[in-house]
């Protein structure tokens, strides 16, 4: 009976979505993106909550006021398994070979004994893959100053554990099969605690963002480079092919910078942008396009 109820709730969770290309930003501060979040209330003592954190280590969100956190007030209990789902939907064609997931987080847990895990499903929850260990998956972890902490090349199996030094930003690229159209892509966030009572805050996540690129790119390679990444003040754009236009957008899809008819190399002042993930689109005089993202610190 419990499995039937869970399946029914999860099916309803998927059917309530609507077709949308591109971005799936959730800052937990308004209702615009909350339809993407489902806290699994069928799990006993599921401690994931959305709200303003008032804990020992977790005292404020990354973007004021709310986050999703393992209880907004209390330390996480022993022998706990808590889950929430984050989903995006809308006929994703993988001509561009993948999708991306980014978010800011803080961790306060017993190292290795208590930890978080993220899995991805491309078949409406029938099968799941760990995004840290799946074949071909690429991920990176930075601190709030843009310092690289570790990445997929480090072969870590557990990353979301221990005590973070302030806010960390996690960025992952998921490879998908070419030519397949997906009705929905779902991420499962799990937090697991052991039997040892240590009175810690757990896991806190903010500014959760999913994106996918749906435009096919011509087979002929276009050479361009945008650096540094992460960036604080100035981006430099170089290319061996003439560029007709560039555009930078925020996670909500709004254009924040755009320019035409410029000389290369181009230096772009991004000091006025708020810290976070941004996406760029470059159009070449040949008609080709290039897409990417960068982290503003």
For 123-168, the pLDDT digits (tens) are 778 899 898 887 777 888 988 887 889 888 777 778 999 999 999 9
Taking the model in full, what pTM does it have?
0.74
Q: Give 197-238 as a DSSP string.
A: -----EEEEEEEEEEE--S---SS---EEEE-SSBSSEEEEE
Query: Are residues 190 and 86 part of one domain?
Result: yes
Question: How many domains does the structure of the chain reveal?
Answer: 2
Query: Are residues 186 and 70 part of one domain?
Result: yes
Which domain covers residue 81, as residue numbers?
Answer: 2-212
Is residue 261 in a domain? yes
> What's the token pair of residue 178?
């070419």
CATH number of the structural domain spanning residue 113: 2.60.120.260
CA dist., res. 19 & res. 1, Å (int): 31
pLDDT per residue over 69-122, tens digit each?
999 999 999 999 999 999 875 544 444 445 778 899 999 999 999 999 999 988
CATH number of the structural domain spanning residue 275: 2.60.40.1930
Q: Give 259-290 as a DSSP string.
A: EES-PSSEEEE-TTSPSEEEEEEEEETTS-EE
Domain boundary among 167, 192, 212: 212
Query: Are residues 186 and 76 part of one domain?
Result: yes
Query: Are residues 287 and 231 part of one domain?
Result: yes
Closest by Cα among 206, 199, 216, 224 to 280: 224
CA dist., res. 291 & res. 173, Å (int): 13
Q: Report which DSSP code applies to 93.
A: E
Q: How confident is the model at residue 28 (pLDDT cuts 50, 70, 90)?
A: very high
pLDDT score at 103: 92
CA dist., res. 85 & res. 219, Å (int): 36
Is residue 218 in a domain? no
Query: Are residues 169 and 285 part of one domain?
Result: no
Is residue 206 in a domain? yes
Is residue 253 in a domain? yes
Taken in order 11, 104, 173, 140, is the CA torsion positive or negative? negative
pLDDT score at 84: 97
pLDDT per residue over 161-203, tens digit each?
999 999 999 988 776 554 455 557 889 999 999 999 889 999 9
Query: Are residues 186 and 73 part of one domain?
Result: yes
CA dist., res. 168 & res. 206, Å (int): 10
Neighbours of 200 (CB within 10 A): 21
Query: Are residues 124 and 266 part of one domain?
Result: no
Domain boundary among 212, 234, 260: 212
Q: Residue 247 half-sphere exposure, CB side, CA atoms within 13 Å?
A: 11
């Amino acid at each position: 009976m419990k499995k039937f109820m869970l399946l029914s709730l999860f099916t309803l969770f998927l059917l309530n979505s609507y077709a949308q290309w591109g971005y799936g930003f959730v800052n937990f501060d308004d209702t615009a993106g909350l339809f993407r979040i489902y806290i699994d209330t069928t799990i006993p003592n599921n401690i994931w909550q959305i709200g303003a954190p008032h804990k020992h280590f977790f005292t404020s969100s990354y973007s004021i006021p709310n986050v999703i956190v393992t209880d907004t007030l209390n330390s996480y209990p022993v022998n706990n398994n808590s889950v929430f789902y984050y989903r995006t939907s809308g006929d994703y064609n993988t001509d561009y070979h993948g999708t991306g997931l980014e978010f800011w987080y803080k961790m306060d847990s017993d190292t290795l004994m208590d930890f978080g895990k993220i899995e991805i499903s491309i078949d409406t929850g029938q099968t799941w893959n760990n995004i840290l260990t799946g074949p071909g998956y690429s991920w990176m972890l930075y601190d709030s100053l843009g310092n690289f902490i570790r990445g997929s090349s480090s072969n870590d199996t557990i990353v979301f554990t221990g005590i973070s030094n302030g806010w960390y930003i996690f960025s992952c690229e998921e490879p998908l099969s070419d030519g397949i159209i997906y009705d929905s892509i779902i991420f499962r966030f799990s937090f697991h605690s052991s039997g040892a009572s240590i009175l810690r805050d757990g896991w806190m996540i903010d500014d959760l963002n999913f994106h996918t690129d749906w435009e096919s790119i011509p087979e002929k390679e276009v050479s361009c480079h945008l650096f540094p990444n992460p960036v604080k003040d100035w981006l430099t754009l170089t290319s061996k092919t003439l560029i007709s236009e560039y555009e930078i957008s925020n996670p909500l899809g709004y254009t924040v910078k755009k320019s035409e008819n410029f000389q290369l190399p181009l230096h772009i002042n991004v000091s006025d942008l708020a810290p976070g993930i941004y996406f760029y689109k470059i159009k070449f005089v040949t008609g080709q396009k290039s897409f990417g993202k960068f982290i503003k610190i």
